[in-house]
Amino acid sequence: MPELPEVETVTRGLTPAMRGHRFVRVEQRRPNLRFPLPERFVTRLEGRTVTGLRRRAKYILVDLNDGEVLVMHLGMSGRFTISATSGEDVEPGGFTLAASTAATHDHIVFTLSGGAVVTYNDARRFGFMDLIAADALDRHKLFRDIGVEPLSNALHAGLLAELAHGRSVDLKAFLMDQRQIAGLGNIYVCEALWRAGLKPTRAAATLAGRAAAEARAEALVVAIRGVLSEAIEAGGSSLRDYKQVSGELGYFQKAHAVYGREAEPCLRAGCTGVVRRQVQAGRSTFFCPACQR
């Protein structure tokens, strides 16, 4: 599952293949992903032109020339690959084992007028696509309650404190709640909490109130911004099946300080702690009990 940095990376990767081009052919190989695909999905897309791509939270938004938006979510295992209608990567009459394995979960194939073939593959099918009128996007169920973009100026310590005020939920659960801050998921929340030196099980409300609380909120904002922007620069994480659209693995995983590092030493200078894994709300949380308070 791609979190914000992976979705951002994928959006950027898809842009040159799609922007300014027309859907020449759309192939829908099954009726549903996580949800049923919209009515007449194929015919509504074919012939329409992509005016631009952007990201909101963990959604990829493909703006179309007729006032609709193709909304795409990658779920846990969704990925896109780009190939060409003509080119050396196409081998007539032959296929590799890897290619045939991947093809079993190739659910949607877009052929663009520029010659790009964009294939959506999603083994677990937690991803989904929808077509929504552009002028209704903000009011749509998927978007109306989505919180602030963490890399925008809208996120600052004051806002975080305001949102967290009076909330008894674990700080980790609070940060993963898309209605507060958009785009954070399990990995980057663990990483940001480690950077900020905050314990995942601390109550969210402890970010609000007196000076010490404000300092925590400030540290957290800095940590969230840092973790996300560095991950985007590195091309997203590479965990299990995450790949950039180019097929290259992202390499931010090298920079994970706690995620996936159970029983390994804490990487904070001077800390002698050992990273611990603990299940919180059914998800693995990785943290250092020594330096995260």
Residues belonging to the active site:
2-3, 58, 283
Selected binder of DNA within 12, 19, 25, 34 (CB under 7 A): 34
CB of 100 to DNA, least distance (A): 12
Q: Is 8 in the site for DNA (CB under 7 A)?
A: no
Q: Among 131, 117, 124, which residue's Cα sits nearest to residue 39? A: 131
Binding positions for DNA, 62-101, rule CB under 7 A: 73, 75-77, 101
User: Please, which residues have CB within 8 angstroms of residue 56's CB and are 6 or more apart in sequence?
Assistant: 143, 146, 149, 182
Least separation in angstroms between CB 268 and DNA: 21
Q: Which of 124, 140, 156, 268 binds DNA (CB under 7 A)?
A: 124
Considering only 42, 134, 142, 290, the residue that binds DNA (CB under 7 A) is 142
* Closest to 243 measured CA to CA, from 122, 101, 110: 122
Shortest gap between Cβ of 35 and DNA (angstroms)?
8
Place of tokens 């990785």: 286
Name the residue nearer to DNA (CB basis): 113 or 186. 186
| Nearer CB in complex with DNA: 21/167 | 167
Give which of 141, 136, 137, 102 is closest to 122, Cα–Cα: 102
CB contact at 8 A, 198 and 292: yes
Binding-site member from 22, 25, 44, 125 for DNA (CB under 7 A): 125
Contact between 292 and 194 (Cβ < 8 Å): yes
Contact letters for DNA, residues 234-273 (x by CB under 7 A): --xxxxxxx-------x-----------------------
Helix (H) or strand (E) segment spanning residue 18: helix 4-18
CA distance 124 to 61: 21
> Which of 110/242 has CB closer to DNA?
242
Q: What are phi and psi of 20, to 5 degrees?
A: 85, 0
| 19 binds DNA per the rule CB under 7 A | no
140 touching DNA, by CB under 7 A: no
**Number of residues lying near DNA (CB under 7 A):** 42
DSSP per residue, 168-187? -SBHHHHHH-TTTBSS--HH
User: In the bound complex, what is the minimum distance in angstroms from residue 277's beta carbon to DNA?
Assistant: 7
The 50-56 sheet, strands edge to edge: 50-56, 59-64, 68-73, 128-133
Q: How far is the CB of 107 from DNA (least distance, A)?
A: 11
> What is the number of other CB atoms lying within 10 angstroms of the CB of residue 261?
19
If the CB atoms of residues 57 and 112 are measured against DNA, the closer one turns out to be 57
Specify the DSSP class assigned to residue 203: B
Query: How many angstroms separate the first and last alpha carbons of the chain?
Result: 28
Q: Applying CB under 7 A, which of residues 85, 202, 284, 290 lies at the interface with DNA? A: 284
Residue 76 beta carbon to DNA: minimum distance, rounded to whole angstroms: 5
Site for DNA in 149-208 (CB under 7 A): 167-170, 173, 176, 178, 185-187, 204
| Residue 24 CA: distances (Å) to CA of 66, 80, 115, 116, 221 | 15, 18, 9, 10, 43
Neighbours of 167 (CB within 10 A): 18
Using CB under 7 A, list all residues that contact DNA: 1-3, 6, 34, 57-58, 73, 75-77, 101, 104-105, 123-126, 142, 167-170, 173, 176, 178, 185-187, 204, 236-242, 250, 281-284
